[in-house]
Amino acid sequence: MVEAVGLNVFKFPARMIPGCDLLTDSGTTTMTMRQWSQLLLGDESYGSNEGYFEFKEQVVETFGPQWENRDKNFENVFLFHQGRAAEAGLFTCLGRILKSSRAPYYFIPSNGHFDTTQANIEANGFEARNLFCKEALAKDQQARFKGNMDVAGLEALLDDPKMRERIPLVYLTVTNNTGGGQPVSLENIRKVSELSHSYGIPLMFDACRFAENAWFIQQFEPGYADKSISEVVRLMFEQVDGFHISLKKDGLVNIGGALVVKENGFLNKNYPELQGALTGHQVLVEGHPTYGGLAGRDLKGAVEGLKTVVSHGFLDYRISQVQRFGAWVDEACGADVVVKPVGGHAIYLDLDKFFAGTGLADGQFPGISLTALMLVAGHRCCELGIYSFGRNVDGKEIPPDPRVNNVRAAVPRLCYEDIDLRAAAEAFGVLYQQRGRIPGIEVIYGQELPMRHFISRFRFKR
Ligand code: F0G
């Protein structure tokens, strides 16, 4: 079957996976009893359903009073069916406002854009630029906040007027998925915010895993040990002018997304046309803005999810399980192959370490081989490296710069027992012991397509 789906893990039937499905932590959450009870209370009215109002209230409750929608002529919560739809909404509208098609003139700096964010930015004529911090680039195994943005790099860009005028907004992804699920410190958030705001440039969060990020701040950043997760979350969100979120992660639901704009923030100030443009876009692609492509019950589930996710007990259990999983994989491999420190939602195996000494070249995409063989062993994970982040232009491979080369095993929330994850760790161990026998692959379809890892087909080189 693995060969029948062209070694593409996304195309493998989920019901045929006997072990752990670690493809993603997105939308794979097991919802709580309280969430299910809310689903039953869903109000499925076409316009202004109950969940919409409750969601807006919960945004204020979770992220802080600055997110209240006081001006009734202004909408600040834009619902979408998932995170990338919110990204598409933002960048489509911003692209039109800035007439970015003569591009790429404008660019969006980030601590690490996720692939869909990057794709949406590029599809609308902007350039996506990652400013990974030096600890991340140096693969420092000790640094606690490897998701940080390189502040000096941002400063150099913003201090140069010719560069500055090309930056419509700055992004921070919390936690930094592309950089290995690593957290961003409050100190870094504050510095990036001060710097961007000193030039009147809006700062946005890609807030998919905001609660997990807050947990790391509480645990490891000096000065926050006595703050609750909710308090840390509010401190984080004081610093930004807007955020988009895929509720499929820390919203603890199976579908949903939103773009939220701070009424008094720079995003609203700099782009007053944005609100109208977003509403128009929602009507065109999602439905009435008060349901934004979601069932009323989905919104109720998300409201309950946003309440649960900031509980310390939940986060402690969730993140410590991911940390244990990382330790088991290293133990099973008898080697230091997992990216350290382990992030909040997934473990990342460093392919450069895993395949060191095997002679497999980048162009043989050994990460794809590893994920295909993990499927044979009964578990699903995905490559996030040379294939997923690289591109092929006119037959020439362009690797991601800076280099990212991992296989990710993401842990769904409230889904697996430790013993399940131990089995997946053992499978990695067996493949590591046999790594000298793992063949490379060749791409038989889709090498030059955008977001190619989702659709490509491969076969083992014999
Ligand atoms: N931003 C980040 C940081 C993400 O991790 C994702 C999704 C998105 C945006 C897009 O959200 O899927 O709701 O459209 N990440 C999933 C993953 C797919 O597996 O990491 P979406």
Rounded to the nearest whole angstrom, what is the distance from the C-alpha of residue 177 to the centroid of ligand 1? 8
CA-based torsion, 137, 140, 141, 145: positive or negative: negative
Pinpoint the residues of the chain covered by CATH 3.40.640.10: 33-308
- pLDDT mean for each 10 residues of the chain (462 residues): 96 97 98 98 97 98 98 95 98 92 84 92 94 91 95 98 96 89 96 98 98 98 98 98 98 98 97 97 97 98 98 97 98 96 96 96 96 98 94 93 91 98 98 97 95 95 86
Q: Does the domain spanning 33-308 belong to CATH 3.40.50.720?
A: no
pLDDT at 180: 79
pLDDT at 101: 64
The phi and psi torsions of 327 (rounded to 5 degrees) equal: -65, -40
Contact in structure between 255 and 51 (CB atoms under 8 Å): no
Ligand 1 pocket residue status of 83, Cβ below 6 Å: yes
Tokens encoding 418 = 């430790």
Burial (Cβ within 10 Å: 0-12, 13-18, ≥19) of residue 401: exposed
Ligand 1 pocket residue status of 246, Cβ below 6 Å: yes
Quickly tell me which residue has 């504050």 as its tokens: 190
Contact in structure between 135 and 179 (CB atoms under 8 Å): no
Rounded to the nearest whole angstrom, what is the distance from the C-alpha of residue 412 to the centroid of ligand 1? 13
Q: Domain 9-25+312-460: which CATH class?
A: alpha beta
SS3 string of 425-444? HHHHHHHHHCHHHCCCEEEE
- Ligand 1: residue whose CA is nearest its atom 11: 83
pLDDT at 102: 61
pTM of the model: 0.95
Burial (Cβ within 10 Å: 0-12, 13-18, ≥19) of residue 357: exposed
How far the first Cα of the chain sits from its last, in Å, is 18
Pinpoint the residues of the chain covered by CATH 3.90.1150.10: 9-25+312-460
Ligand 1 pocket residue status of 116, Cβ below 6 Å: yes
